[in-house]
Amino acid sequence: MGGAEESSKEEEKHKDQEEEHTKEKKKKDKKCKDEEKCEKKKKEKNPEDKKDAQKLKLKLEKLDAKMQALVTKREEILKLLNEAEQISQDSVSTQPPADTSS
């Protein structure tokens, strides 16, 4: 039975280490608000990119691809919506009218 106690102590120790790690990570995240101190800095934009036709064409192609994907997704959602509305109308029309003469 001594082995069970040792394993539970090890589990507690492991949990404590995980908690300390998450606390340190949260502290680090708070420090990262100041961009100079943060290890992960945003990629600096090159002002020349706005004048480079090749890079602008690439950006435009990426946007077009994203827009096309969104249009396709929109069409699918509209189709599902129309089907759902049709089903709800069919279920309402197939139900017999409520008897109100009682």
In the predicted model, residues of the chain with pLDDT beneath 50 are 1
pLDDT at 45: 78
∠ CA(35), CA(36), CA(40), 5° rounding?
60
* Collapsed DSSP state (helix, strand, coil) of residue 29: helix
Cβ neighbourhood burial of 29 (10 Å; 0-12, 13-18, 19+): exposed
pLDDT at 60: 96
Where do the structural domains in the chain lie, given as residue ranges?
A: 48-91
Helix (H) or strand (E) segment spanning residue 58: helix 53-94
Q: What is the DSSP-derived secondary structure letter of residue 100?
A: -
Q: What is the pLDDT of residue 4?
A: 53
Residue 66 structure tokens: 């994203």
